[in-house]
């Protein structure tokens, strides 16, 4: 957004998203960019707003790589389909603001209930008329007949929250249609999901020629492709066909792990371990339901897969299907802790997944603090490179800047005022 003031953030530490340690630095923001990062006290900017960062750490804004801003706090499997389009727009508007309030300056969509739901909200955010993160608007999920999100039934009509495609030509037309309507991301459901009785997560539902057509058409049009892929075969198809971001990847076999490692400079993976944590510890689902959903077995497989992928150097992202009743949007930064607790990440590695890697996946020049980078910044009380819980605590977020504009500024703890005044 043009017209943003000059801002000097001084007196604190800076973690740039790339390095393993934070350092004491001052940062100057001009317009929508980071203008300078320099030693404390070395930046002179008499006309800038000065923000006292003492006791805090400036980090890049968080990026949710598996965004479901349009989820209506889902409480039953077909609630998304049952939500009228007008309400879906408002839910997405509120979801966008909630995410920015939680420190997320970027969101990559992972399935919109209708083609233009996320598109129109993205456009309003970009125009400055709505608060929200940088939003890469997604298609509805493209799924095969009988695949995940094909909730249609022979005996009654339902406008499913997906585009059901069978065969490469139907896929090509769907991608082109969504491109015409303004999306940034094509979402594929290549496998099923254990949240539903059929198809479950070990079943591969989208044919390889269909997935390949989606990727080839999207590439020609400049769109990214993300995929829901739990089964080993669905992951292999995603890699072979050129998917950019693979969500879940729970049940990888050795061949799938090898293929992902070979593609690690091209592909990103979102572990979504937090979804299983939520099912087991937050959902209050009865034990017999958790057993029918095979949650513990799936979580064990998920942990084994992503522990192996971390060791193989895969670039991980955060995003764990937030937007459901027991994991509402706004609590997404809990994934930083989950990467540490379950997958063996160090706190700084987990924070990098939530910031720098997310910025790289978006490809917009965000996700780091360096001269010329987009000014999407988060001032966190304390040291989030050592404590992975800080970014998930709203009270620890002293300052949120998106595109060079202050979205949130709050006082220091214990009532000490933060200086935000022109010098």
How far the first Cα of the chain sits from its last, in Å, is: 23
Contact 247, 187 (CB under 8 A): no
Nearest-angstrom CA–CA distance, 35 and 398? 21
Nearest-angstrom CA–CA distance, 234 and 204? 6
How high is the pLDDT of residue 132?
98
What's phi and psi for 135, nearest 5 deg? -120, 120
Q: What is the DSSP letter of 76?
A: S
Cβ neighbors of 388 (< 8 A, separation 6 or more) are: 336, 337, 339, 340, 347, 350, 351
Contact 250, 203 (CB under 8 A): no
How high is the pLDDT of residue 1?
42
Nearest-angstrom CA–CA distance, 243 and 322? 22
Cα 117 to the center of its chain, rounded Å: 17
Nearest-angstrom CA–CA distance, 382 and 391? 10
**Token representation of residue 322:** 């937030």
How high is the pLDDT of residue 169?
98
Nearest-angstrom CA–CA distance, 141 and 115? 9
Nearest-angstrom CA–CA distance, 353 and 334? 13
Please, where are the H alpha helices in 79-231? 79-82, 85-101, 117-126, 168-180, 208-221
How high is the pLDDT of residue 3?
55
How high is the pLDDT of residue 415?
37
Query: Quick check: helix, strand or coil at residue 225?
Result: strand
Nearest-angstrom CA–CA distance, 177 and 192? 24
pLDDT per residue, tens digit, the chain (423 aa), is 445 679 999 999 999 999 999 999 999 999 999 999 999 999 987 889 999 999 999 999 999 999 999 987 777 778 888 899 999 999 999 999 999 999 999 999 999 999 999 999 999 999 999 999 999 999 999 999 999 998 888 898 888 889 999 999 999 999 999 999 999 999 999 999 988 778 988 999 999 999 999 999 999 999 999 999 999 999 999 999 999 999 999 999 999 999 999 999 999 999 999 999 999 999 999 999 999 999 999 999 999 999 999 999 999 999 999 998 999 999 999 999 999 999 999 999 999 999 999 999 999 999 999 999 999 999 999 999 999 999 999 999 999 999 999 999 986 544 333 333 333
Nearest-angstrom CA–CA distance, 95 and 332? 12
Is the link from the previous residue into 230 a cis peptide, with omega within 30 of 0?
Answer: no
Please, where are the H alpha helices in 231-369? 232-241, 254-262, 273-281, 287-292, 295-311, 334-343, 347-354, 356-362
- Using alpha carbons only, give the angle 92, 95, 96 rounded to the nearest 5 degrees: 90
Handedness of CA 348, 349, 354, 357 (dihedral sign): positive
Look at the block and give the residue holding tokens 């043009």. Answer: 2
Nearest-angstrom CA–CA distance, 210 and 187? 13
Contact 77, 372 (CB under 8 A): no
Nearest-angstrom CA–CA distance, 359 and 115? 24
Nearest-angstrom CA–CA distance, 301 and 405? 42
How high is the pLDDT of residue 420?
36
Q: What is the DSSP letter of 361?
A: H
Q: What is the per-residue DSSP string for 125-151?
A: HHTTSS---EEEPBPPEEE-TTSTT--
Cβ neighbors of 347 (< 8 A, separation 6 or more) are: 336, 340, 384, 385, 386, 387, 388
Nearest-angstrom CA–CA distance, 42 and 40? 6
């Amino acid at each position: 957004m043009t017209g943003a003031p000059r801002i000097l953030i001084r007196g604190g530490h800076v973690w740039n998203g790339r390095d393993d340690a934070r350092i004491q630095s001052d940062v100057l923001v001009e317009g929508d960019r980071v203008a300078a990062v320099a030693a404390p006290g070395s930046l002179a900017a008499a006309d800038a707003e000065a923000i006292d960062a003492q006791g805090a750490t400036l980090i890049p804004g968080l990026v949710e790589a598996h965004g479901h801003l349009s989820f209506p706090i889902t409480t039953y499997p077909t609630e998304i389909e049952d939500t009228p389009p007008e309400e879906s727009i408002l839910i997405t508007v509120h979801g966008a603001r909630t995410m920015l309030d939680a420190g997320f300056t970027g969101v990559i969509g992972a399935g919109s209930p209708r083609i233009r739901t996320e598109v129109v909200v993205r456009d309003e955010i970009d125009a400055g008329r709505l608060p929200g993160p940088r939003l890469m608007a997604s298609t509805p999920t493209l799924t095969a007949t009988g695949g995940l999100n094909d909730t249609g039934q022979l005996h009654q009509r339902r406008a499913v929250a997906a585009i059901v495609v069978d065969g490469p030509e139907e896929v090509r037309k769907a991608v082109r249609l969504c491109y015409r309507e303004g999306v940034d991301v094509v979402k594929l459901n290549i496998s099923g999901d254990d949240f539903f009785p059929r198809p479950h997560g070990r079943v591969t539902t989208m044919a390889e020629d269909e997935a390949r057509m989606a990727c080839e058409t999207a590439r020609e049009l400049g769109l990214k492709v993300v995929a829901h892929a739990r089964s080993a075969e669905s992951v292999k198809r995603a890699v072979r066909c050129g998917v950019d971001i693979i969500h879940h990847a729970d049940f990888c076999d050795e061949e799938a792990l090898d293929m992902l490692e070979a593609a690690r400079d091209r592909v990103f993976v979102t572990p979504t371990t937090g979804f299983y944590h939520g099912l087991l510890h937050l959902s209050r689902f009865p034990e017999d339901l958790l057993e029918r959903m095979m949650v513990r077995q799936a979580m064990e497989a998920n942990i084994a897969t992503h522990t192996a992928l971390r060791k193989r150097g895969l670039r991980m992202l955060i995003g764990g299907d937030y937007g459901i009743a027991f994991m509402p949007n706004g609590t997404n930064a809990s994934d930083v802790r989950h990467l540490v607790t379950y997958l063996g990440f160090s706190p700084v590695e987990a924070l990098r997944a939530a910031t720098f890697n997310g910025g790289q996946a978006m490809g917009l020049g965000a996700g780091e603090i360096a001269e010329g980078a987009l000014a999407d910044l988060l001032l966190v009380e304390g040291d989030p490179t050592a404590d992975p819980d800080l970014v998930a605590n709203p009270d620890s977020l002293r300052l949120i800047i998106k595109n060079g504009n202050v979205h949130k500024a709050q006082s220091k703890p214990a009532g000490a005022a933060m200086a935000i005044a022109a010098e």
